[in-house]
Structure 1
């Protein structure tokens, strides 16, 4: 890594923009040739999975327990390395978990806040390495709502993210809504002044914004009057994955199954708490505590089909919860275009598999898709507009690759031009454009 020169002058290009995503993250820095450029975070890739793997073995360094980031973190998990994988860290913001300590393996405890800050430090370090100097100013993206219908927790979520940014060395911190940043990216290709509805469907939130864009507006720093409405719901890719797992995979492990038949009694459904935890990334590890496993072992008599309990205990005792969640995500992707997939579960029981197809996806995700589409319609109404006034519909975020979702949203705006942005980099690019306008205006 090259040495870092000081860049303390307000005129220096000592700033960056960070899209800290639920599933993937990206960073933009000033380009010496002008404009902004995305940083290659892993090889030539400009996005990096928002993932950290804590190794059970190895010595602490100044930054904490030994760990890997991004694709290296996912690879360590897939290869069966002893340790703990953390994903969807953004979902912790605004929850009580942010101040709690969790087991990172090997008897080591790590605060969720430090976990999040460590990932931001990694992004900051890569930005500085690419720029060749220190960086202490940043524009961070944020969803319209970190937490739905709870402004106190939503404010706490942004404050926690700002605290983490301060903790890793940023001194001048600004935020911009992610869908508005995406509108800035679209604006570069807008042929004339338009009203664009940005649909930013990521891993954790589905955000909509109506923004007035146009060539003559691009140079303006203050764009508040061009933001006509923004709205969102805390439903997106990770929710889709959870519902796919619950609908297609976990019934083979006892989810919604019945207990044994007893004379004169209606069979009861087995307790469902463990299944919801297994389908939620940041809760999976809670199932592995000795006390929880002992409780689950004692519940075998609750199952009418004890094979379900046997499979469940294999998942828990062999710590295969994240593997099931990954297979649910893969199944969602496989049927995104209307196909079908056979989900191999042979690692739990020889010959075990389940089929998942477009009809299953519709049943599992239909309610979520409709709620997301409703959020888009509500955004238009908040702006005092009707759907026919929308000139362009701009899709960004990894979950817009789910064809039924994109088609359902687009159906409400039949006269709008439909544009697919870069699923993973549009927001970072737009945040970079905003950062350049903001910080260069301060110079």
Structure 2
């Protein structure tokens, strides 16, 4: 088993696609993937950036068509398929052979508390995979794959709680692992419980953006007092519509005109001026990225300055770890409770967990890992590769699954 180089020097790649306004079509509109997609956006090229595509699965957006520029419209499902096709071609170039069999990782829940939509999400992902040429497809839960990656590094049996906290979901599994158990293909009896919530890294970024950045653009601000009446809060819809998959709707000409007409709603006209710069120059993804960078900067403690001078000269905001903690506290508690619930579903008490295995990009957030660990104080803490342990575990399982006789 080996990890394929997906971009020069990298065996991981962000789930990002940038659609260029100009350029020839080849298997769809002209586009870039991963870090190249993010770079195209940062460099200011004309086009549209799409990120966190897995969170579209199971939503009503999946069959909708969205404008990607240049007069082109693309279904969200085809965006997912195009990304999978790119990954498939990278793997085939490395293997020097066609690949038609795949084990696809999936979160424990694509959609919280809605089994029908969760099944629809997996069906949509399978449809995208078949669309690009995979014929023999098997699914495996991502935290269970992480347990398999952990298992190949230990020489004894243990009960492990896998905490897989990524960009879109926080998933937990309680799994029995060990050298003897690893020899068996059928591991259903070793999976004691799995559970998850649809809260993770992109939600953290959004909370930080709302708490630290968007107040400078009018979020939570009040308008002028009219006729002696108490000031009314500025309408907040635009600040929430800036969710990554809805940012493009804010740039619709009719919506822009509506936002421009709302100038009188703001007591501090600088807020409206800054908001319109973001809208006119399409800086929504850039603000989200700066919130993410700020979150990362305070993840290990301390404080940072988030530079917003691309909107207004000398504009910047301070972000401290206590601010981030306050913004994220409710989300973190829901994630920790999901871990506790997973252990309860396994019929265990917290002291029955031998090891906590952390994987997923968001486990780099110190506060989150500490809060999860505090719920299971007797467990040994193990950190996997935050970005590759699930892929490695899926590969371990794929080898066993497709060689099964």
Q: TM-score range by the shorter chain?
A: over 0.9
Q: Name the counterpart of 1:394.
A: 357
Q: Name the counterpart of 1:109.
A: 73
Measure, in 1, the Cα distance between the counterparts of 2:281 and 2:96.
Answer: 45
Instruction: Report whether the alignment pairs 1:434 with 2:384.
Output: no
Q: In structure 2, the residue corresponding to 1:38 is in which secondary structure? A: coil
Q: In structure 2, the residue corresponding to 1:48 is in which secondary structure? A: coil
Unaligned runs of 5+ in 1: 1-35
User: So what's the TM-score if we normalise by structure 1?
Assistant: 0.90
Measure, in 2, the Cα distance between the counterparts of 1:199 and 1:316.
Answer: 38
- CA offsets per residue over residues 409-438 of structure 1, 9 Å max, x none? 000111111000000000000000110000
Matches within 5 A, 1:46-61: 46-61=11-26
Instruction: Report whether the alignment pairs 1:276 with 2:236.
Output: no
Q: Name the counterpart of 1:328.
A: 291
Measure, in 2, the Cα distance between the counterparts of 1:215 and 1:264.
Answer: 75
Measure, in 1, the Cα distance between the counterparts of 2:288 and 2:164.
Answer: 23
Q: Name the counterpart of 2:206.
A: 242
Q: Name the counterpart of 2:153.
A: 189
Q: Name the counterpart of 2:179.
A: 215
Which residue of the other structure, out of 394, 403, 408, is the alignment partner of 2:366? 403
Q: In structure 1, the residue corresponding to 2:288 is in which secondary structure? A: helix
Measure, in 2, the Cα distance between the counterparts of 1:112 and 1:70.
Answer: 17
Measure, in 2, the Cα distance between the counterparts of 1:248 and 1:83.
Answer: 28
Measure, in 1, the Cα distance between the counterparts of 2:227 and 2:263.
Answer: 19
How many residues are paired up? Answer: 405
Q: Name the counterpart of 1:175.
A: 139
Higher relative contact order structure (alpha carbons within 8 Å, sequence separation ≥ 6): 1
Instruction: Report whether the alignment pairs 1:90 with 2:54.
Output: yes
Q: In structure 2, the residue corresponding to 1:37 is in which secondary structure? A: coil
Measure, in 1, the Cα distance between the counterparts of 2:354 and 2:395.
Answer: 25
Q: In structure 2, the residue corresponding to 1:71 is in which secondary structure? A: helix
Q: Name the counterpart of 1:69.
A: 33
Instruction: Report whether the alignment pairs 1:202 with 2:169.
Output: no
Measure, in 2, the Cα distance between the counterparts of 1:187 and 1:122.
Answer: 30
Measure, in 2, the Cα distance between the counterparts of 1:184 and 1:171.
Answer: 24
State the shift of 1:150 in Å.
0.7
State the shift of 1:190 in Å.
2.3
Q: Name the counterpart of 1:254.
A: 218
Measure, in 2, the Cα distance between the counterparts of 1:216 and 1:191.
Answer: 9
State the shift of 1:287 in Å.
0.5
Q: Name the counterpart of 2:324.
A: 361
Measure, in 2, the Cα distance between the counterparts of 1:184 and 1:354.
Answer: 43
Divergent runs of 4+, >4 A: none
Instruction: Report whether the alignment pairs 1:42 with 2:45.
Output: no
Instruction: Report whether the alignment pairs 1:163 with 2:127.
Output: yes
Measure, in 1, the Cα distance between the counterparts of 2:126 and 2:190.
Answer: 26
Measure, in 1, the Cα distance between the counterparts of 2:150 and 2:165.
Answer: 16
Q: In structure 2, the residue corresponding to 1:144 is in which secondary structure? A: coil
Measure, in 2, the Cα distance between the counterparts of 1:300 and 1:429.
Answer: 52
Q: Name the counterpart of 1:380.
A: 343
State the shift of 1:85 in Å.
0.7
Q: In structure 1, the residue corresponding to 2:192 is in which secondary structure? A: strand
State the shift of 1:59 in Å.
1.5
- CA offsets per residue over residues 1-31 of structure 1, 9 Å max, x none? xxxxxxxxxxxxxxxxxxxxxxxxxxxxxxx
Measure, in 2, the Cα distance between the counterparts of 1:122 and 1:344.
Answer: 34
State the shift of 1:44 in Å.
2.6
State the shift of 1:96 in Å.
1.2
Measure, in 1, the Cα distance between the counterparts of 2:30 and 2:190.
Answer: 46
State the shift of 1:262 in Å.
2.1
- CA offsets per residue over residues 159-211 of structure 1, 9 Å max, x none? 00000000000111110000000000011122311000000000000000000
Unaligned runs of 5+ in 2: none
Measure, in 1, the Cα distance between the counterparts of 2:344 and 2:338.
Answer: 10
Measure, in 2, the Cα distance between the counterparts of 1:416 and 1:188.
Answer: 19
Measure, in 1, the Cα distance between the counterparts of 2:235 and 2:71.
Answer: 30
User: So what's the TM-score if we normalise by structure 2?
Assistant: 0.99
Q: Name the counterpart of 1:9.
A: none
Measure, in 1, the Cα distance between the counterparts of 2:30 and 2:225.
Answer: 51
Instruction: Report whether the alignment pairs 1:118 with 2:89.
Output: no
